[in-house]
Amino acid sequence: MKKQIVFIMTDTTRRDMLGCYGNPKMSTPNLDALADEGIRFENAYTAQPVCGPARSAIFTGTFPHTNGMVTNCIAMGENVKTIGQRLTDNGLHCGYIGKWHLDGSDYFGNGVCPEGWDEEYWYDMRRYLDELSDEDKVRSRKSETAYEADMTEDFTYAHRCSNRALKFIDEYKDEDFFLVVSYDEPHGPCLCPPPFNEMYEGFKFEDNPNFQDDLSKKPLMQQLWAGDAIDKKTEEINRPSKQLSLFLGCNSFADYEIGRVLDAVKKDLPEAMVIFTSDHGDMLGNHRLQMKNAAAYKEIANIPLIIKGGEKGKVVDYPASHIDLAPTILDYMGIPVPECMEGKSMLPQIRDTGVRINDKVFTEFTRYEVDHDGFGGLQMMRAVMSERYKLVINLLDTDELYDMEKDPFEVTNLINSPEYEDIRNEMHDALLEHMNATRDLYRGYQWSCRPWRRDKHQAWANDGYTRQRLNEEYEPRQLDYDTGLPMTEAVRKKTTKDEKN
């Protein structure tokens, strides 16, 4: 059997923007059909709810704090290799069509095909803009363009990405390959032609308790983020709007374009694995918030994930994470997963949904974007999620704990609740262990010594260990500071000058 993977992703698709996730008002027939043919993950999380950092984790198998892309508009480290580079170096053909957002440039990218991907099919957003006249470049960035009489699907980035994907599939259908089709849609400006541009006129989400969240027991950052919405009534926040209507219409348009690719997969690649996900969601007024920022609420962090290539028509409630996708892809292709990757292969679970891969998964935040201090600036957050509980540490602010079984809308902050002390501390210990195990660049005693965790020992040396990088595929083994020889243990007690004497 040929080894073929088609990896499809969108930008800013919430889980409840797909019909298959329980919202019948959403028109997403193609992704719904994909879920019927594969596995739908209910509790899948992004590694960071911001475009670039989320994508860095997906395509490297390392968290943003490891690969260096802790915010938009900062590139990953030069020693970080993407899944395309690793697969290409193992003789597999890799194509990347669509939004990249990993080169440290602006929103559109620099137009340069990175190592490991097919130059002929490389098509980041800068290459799309380069096809347009200056007048059309401006039109492509205005939502109003969606309502112009001459607006057609041919003008959109999504349509042109799909066209290239169809060409790639036709050309390489008889070979092993890994193809990424990465849509910018439904992210603003939400360009889409009729009937999509008006199909959600008058729509609003079902009311739920978190539209009424006054944020009084939540981090100050969230209260500031809410702005004047903090004082508005629910009906003023959760209401129909032209902006929401167009956003959801563009989401259905993205599903239509994805359907074109899935039809080609069904025709020419019937045995191929297909993976669909989105980088993050959008608050859309929930908790009185808009867009995304330093929070782990389900609206932005709990992303859709559908995988076809194993069991059919199944739903997995166990926690899942973007960090596991790169190891899964390598495993599927028969390539050993490198030690530097911080996730694990989901392949056993894809073949048998009764297999549990994760008890807990993690997400993080450092800042929104280096160019946008107006979006909160430095906001250090680390979070851990199980099926039932979510602990969020906001290093410079109030922490959060939610019981998602009793409080699915994440309104009641239980961080200081005596009833949840044992659960909270167990989740906290797991988070600290994760930060150490992944060599989190920002770890330190401040994460453990929280106001509600008096039993934690305070020490400048933290736990006293050193943890060196485990990656030998593209770089030499690191040397032990104390001997100058190749390290024999990556994790070991760090000796001090006094201890040596």
Q: Which residues participate in catalysis according to the annotation?
A: 51, 101
Residues 6+ away with beta carbon under 8 Å from 208: 286, 409
**At which residue do the structure tokens 């541009």 appear?**
197
Instruction: For Cα atoms 359, 363, 366, give the angle at the middle one, nearest 5 degrees.
Output: 160
Name the one residue in this structure whose structure tokens are 């969606």. 146
Please give the helix or strand (H or E) that residue 385 lies within, else none. Answer: strand 378-385
**Look-up of token digits 């959060």:** 400
Long-range CB contacts (within 8 A, 24+) of 410-417: 410/210, 410/287, 410/297, 410/298, 411/209, 411/210, 411/212, 411/213, 412/217, 413/217, 413/218, 415/452, 416/452
- Token pair listed for 345: 């292969």
Rounded CA-CA distance 200/387 in Å is 32
SS3 call for 148: coil
Question: What is the distance between the alpha carbons of residues 400 and 397, in angstroms, rounded to a whole number?
Answer: 10
Q: Are 5 and 179 in contact (CB under 8 A)?
A: yes
Q: Are strands 314-321 and 302-308 parallel, antiparallel or unpaired?
A: unpaired
Helix (H) or strand (E) holding 383: strand 378-385
Contacts with 161 (C-beta within 8 Å, 6 or more apart), sequence order: 97, 98, 123, 181, 182, 183, 257
Sheet holding 93-98, edge to edge: 93-98, 177-186, 4-11, 273-278, 302-308, 39-45, 314-321
Give dist(CA 119, CA 117) in Å, integer: 6
CA angle centred on 403, ends 402 and 408, rounded to 5°? 90
Measure the CA–CA gap between 384 and 430, rounded to whole angstroms.
Answer: 8
In this structure, what token pair is assigned to residue 326?
């790169």
Tokens of 363: 């997400």
b/e per residue 455-493 (b: at least 16 CB within 10 A):
eeeeeeebeeebbbeebeeeeeeeebeeeeeebeeeeee
